[in-house]
Structure 1
Amino acid sequence: MSTTITPDALTPPRLVVTTGGRPVPGSRAPGWLQTADFLRSPTSFLERNRRRYGDIFSAKLHGLATGRMVMVADPKLIEEVFKADPYMLKAGEAAYTTIAPIGGPNSLLVLDAPEHLEDRRLLLPPLHGERLRAYADVIAEETDRSVATWPIGKPFPMRRPMADITLDVIMRAVFGLERGGRYDALRQALVDSTSGETAISLGLMVPAFRRDLGPFRAWSEFEAAVARTDALLYAEIADRRKADDLEQRPDILSMLILARRKNGTPMTDHELRDELVTLLLAGHETTATGLSWTMELLYRHPAVLAKLRASVAAGDEEYLDAVIHEALRVRPVIPFVFRVLTRPIQLGGYALDAGVTVVPAVHLVHRREELYPQSAEFRPERFLGRSPGTYEWLPFGGGTRRCIGASFALMEMRVVLQRVLAQTMLEPAGKRPEKTRRRAFTLVPARGAMTIRRR
């Protein structure tokens, strides 16, 4: 027997709670084989299965959320998923195994309703409006500082300075630190704990690999780096609580110390620590990778680069925004998001059991030909004079779980690109476009977006 809530013009579509329906099609290959295939190339895995099974298909991926996955590539079905009751589809539960070892149990990324909504309410104000615009100067300063050190005539991976810029912006704008002893120590500890080397990435995704392998002590070193990060963050939180100028400070840590929940209680030290690391995870590697892909795509399209330079010089940001939107469409940093079902539902005519992980496949949506003709091509003009559809452009996820730092990231990308284009002449260091490489759940340029700066 099934229960259906019929949508009308005033009601968003709802998922059908059911115990019947067709089973979701998918590969019958052993789970370990599907997992290895997925880890080798997530985008190829998604594309190949979509061609064979359509816009909704199942997969067995060991170590990822519940392992029982249903991939969804239809924007209308994704809208249903994002608008569903958050108690029915839990994103925090899906992310817990991977995020908690570094983000902690209080991270916004691992919380579900109502705790997620309450903490989201506390974190949103510093990341929007006037508060957001106040960070533009910090971003410009850190970009200029970095550009001044770039070699001339010698290849270098663009992703490295982009990661340095985004980390230094977080150190100043989020943590409220200026260069010095604690800044340097915390910065290094953060680099060590988010290095993303293969052993750590695998351990975060698959718990069975959270151990040292023979003489390789990568996991122990990761845990030690997280412990150093914690000690330094807790020391900074304790000192900041004693500051007599909290209300005048522009950094996010100070604002969070002052924030109060609806019942009047402040955030604890442990909650502050976890949310600070969450903001780092959401805004450091991801934004750096988005910038690297944008630069890589611009190198390969001289006409687009020339047009962008001219528009930036003229003070026109419309084409710059179109370039950023198109880069994040062609090369989404995170190609999918997860939701764990707490009860059986029907989606697109298929039966999904409780315990299944529903996976809106961002990469596949961005490659739909009816939405984006010649979808593999980099064509920023797609976004001139139009905003992307809510469920057709998903680099930051969607629904109530949309990345809380999306506005900050877009603003940061805009400022960094403006400053880089105003000061440099860059070109690719290789003849062929770079392929993607998986780095935990992100897709990065395989060689780091190798670049040459010319005089």
Structure 2
Amino acid sequence: MKIPEVSIPLWLNILKIANDPLNHLDVIAKKYGDIFIINFGETPIVFVSEPQAIKQIFTNTKDIKTPGELNAEMALITGNQGILQLDGLRHKHRRKLMMPAFHGVKMQTQGKLICNLTKKVMDEYLASKTFIAYPTVEEITLQVSMEVVLGLREGERYEKLKHLLPTILKSMRSPIMQITSFLPFLQKDLGKWSPWGYLMYLRQEIFQLLYAEVQERRQQADTSRTDILSELIFAHDEMGELMTDEEVRDLLLSPLFAAQDASAVAITWLLYWVHHLPQVREQLLQELTSLGDSPDPMSIVQLPYLSAVCNEVLRIYPAQLFTFPRRIESSTELMGYELSAGTLVMGCIYLTHQRPDLYPQPKQFQAERFLAKQYTPYEFFPFGGGARGCIGAALAVFEMKLILATILSNYQLTLGTKQPEQPKFEGLMCYPASGVKMHISTKTPRTSTETTAPLCV
């Protein structure tokens, strides 16, 4: 018995995934079921969406590996020694070094920073009355990621990185670069005025700035700082040796981009859905009001309905549509099919999140489903899972809650159009195609009987 193979030309499949990814995947799943093969040139990939199969590819680390070489294309912006490119003990060790910055007490210290940055950025748009949500939120998450990862909040190097990091992401998402990624003969550096040359220029600038920061901070040797960079320059590798400046630089890149871009995408979708559904916004405001004046950020992130709304947004439009690829190392059975060594496998996050047996009426926004049931990490995994789960996932959800709470408590927003927002797939992420235009008319009215508390002030 063979796994069903999607019979569609490669160019058409790529076009459909890029322009109408969710409907395309819905059609494929309806026709082929929970497991199917898509051929990308000479590389067939098995896609699965059944929870037990997802569990198997996340947990069977003996027969199903996650080699860094499968993420080689990402090295363009994450470096050759970044967390996505490492394997085995090195990967596990480096990941363990960075995880504390995204959890526990260190996350708590970022709470007020996130709220204050949100208010500072949003205040700038009160006079203009309109803004595009994605770049606006990206400005907030970029500043947060630079603080958490690099410990930077001012200075010439900070200002340059603040410009370069979103610029390189925008460049990689441009139509010409999307075409170039599939046509290697176009990947030639003809100077910064050519598409590939400009990308290489941006990459070099970012790498040089980060390398200089690593060198400078190692010379300063300030053990009181708690950002990821400060911890890495004092950390020892699995052999007990200090890591090189180049190793430290490359390890900074993945969390820096993840904390900025994945977070901004998720929060933009959150703003869209909450303002697309007024009853959801009103229920959130009531829950926030119950905390009283100036609530602690950690009290906000524990609110049950707020958490449910964030989860439902991530279910409908997960930050990633697919998991990172895995490779079958030795022949193994998956969903009754025998997969030979060398087969590539990817979990389809979107299709798992659309299963009616898990999520009745999956196309409808129903945050209450997350109050009624606790889903396993193989049924709900918006940031991937297993050894290659997004390292910044906890920070992304933390930011979603605090940024939304700050905005709802201080501003009156409405969507700039009544047309439903459409998703656009680029790389691994599912972006709002328009960026979500919004009007910011006035600050939310407050009365003695219905007070919306200012947050984190």
If the length of structure 1 is used for normalisation, what is the TM-score? 0.89
- Residue in 2 that maps onto 1:333: 319
Using the alignment, how far apart are the partners of 2:372 and 2:241 within structure 1? 45
Contact 1:138 1:172 in 2 (8 A): no
* Preserved contact between residue 199 and residue 219 of structure 1 (Cα < 8 Å): no
Tell me the distance in 2 between the aligned counterparts of 1:411 and 1:187: 21
- Match in the other structure for 1:17: none
Q: 1:118 to 1:395 in 2, by over 3 A?
A: same
- The correspondence for 1:444, drawn from 425, 431, 444, is 431
Q: Which amino acid aligns with 1:408?
A: L
- How do residues 14-163 of structure 1 correspond to structure 2 at under 5 angstroms? 22-62=1-41, 67-85=43-61, 88-97=64-73, 99-151=74-126, 154-163=129-138
Contact 2:188 2:196 in 1 (8 A): yes
**Mean alpha-carbon deviation: is it higher for 83-92 or for 179-188?**
83-92
8 A contact 2:192–2:198 mirrored in 1:
no
Alpha carbon RMSD of aligned pairs, Å?
A: 2.1
Matches of 1:291 and 1:32, distance apart in 2: 32
Match for 2:256 among 251, 259, 280? 280
Deviations 1:143-175 (A, max 9, x none): 121111124574321111100001011122211
Alignment-derived partner of residue 289 in structure 1: 265
In structure 1, C-alpha distance between the alignment counterparts of 2:179 and 2:376, rounded to whole Å: 34
Residue-by-residue CA offset, 1:345-370 (whole Å, 9 max, x unaligned): 32111232333221100000000011
- The counterpart of 2:386, out of the listed 399, 422, 442, is 399
Counterpart of 1:423?
410
Deviation at 1:208, TM superposition (A): 4.9
1:376 deviates by: 0.8
1:373-418, Cα deviation, whole Å (9 max, x unpaired): 1111111111115432221111111122221221111111111111
Q: Does 1:354 align with 2:331?
A: no
SS in 2 for 1:427: strand
Which of 396, 401, 405 lines up with 1:414 in the alignment? 401
Per-residue Cα deviation, 1:94-113 (whole angstroms, up to 9, x for no partner): 2222x111101111112222
1:226-257 Cα offsets, whole Å, 9 max, x none, are: 1011111111111100114x221122211111
Q: Report if the CA contact (8 A) 2:412-2:441 is conserved.
A: yes
Tell me the secondary structure at the aligned position of residue 451 of structure 1: strand
Alpha-carbon separation, structure 2, partners of 1:134 and 1:87: 40
In the TM superposition, what is the alpha-carbon distance from 1:80 to its structure 2 partner? Answer: 0.7
- The equivalent residue for 1:231 is 208
Moved more, 104-113 or 22-31: 22-31
- Contact 1:205–1:440 at 8 Å: present in 2 too? no
* CA gap 1:213/1:234 in 2 versus in 1, 3 angstroms: closer
8 Å Cα contact 1:437-1:445 kept in structure 2: yes
Q: Deviations over 1:303-334 (max 9, x none)?
A: 01000011112226111111111110011121
Alignment of 1:239-250 (within 5 A): 239-244=216-221, 246-250=222-226
Aligned-partner Cα distance in 2 for 1:91–1:219: 27
Distance 2:370 2:159 in 1: 40
Contact residue 296 and residue 433 of structure 1 kept, 8 A: no
Secondary structure at 1:319 match in 2: helix
Shift of 1:440: 2.5
Equivalent in the alignment of 2:353: 366
Separation of aligned partners in 1, 2:20 and 2:339: 26
Task: Count residues in correspondence.
Answer: 429
- Would the aligned equivalents of 1:68 and 1:355 in 2 still touch at CA under 8 Å? no
Contact 1:23 1:352 in 2 (8 A): no
Look up the match of 2:148: 173
- The separation in 1 between residues aligned to 2:49 and 2:349, in whole angstroms, is 7
**How far 1:205 sits from its partner (Å)?**
6.3
Distance 1:152 1:301 in 2: 26
Aligned to 1:197: 174
Q: Structure 2: how far apart are the matches of 1:345 and 1:208?
A: 37
Q: 1:49 to 1:254 in 2, by over 3 A?
A: same
Q: Deviations over 1:411-430 (max 9, x none)?
A: 11111111111111111111
* Whole-angstrom CA distance in 1 between matches of 2:146 and 2:264: 15
State the match for 2:157 in structure 1.
182
User: Tell me, what secondary structure is at the counterpart of 1:240?
Assistant: helix
* Superposition deviation, residue 340 in structure 1: 2.4
SS in 1 for 2:440: strand
Q: Report if the CA contact (8 A) 2:101-2:148 is conserved.
A: no
User: Corresponding residue for 2:310?
Assistant: 324
Rounded Cα–Cα distance in structure 2 between residues aligned with 1:94 and 1:439: 18
1:85 partner SS: coil
Counterparts of 2:319 and 2:381, CA distance in 1 = 10
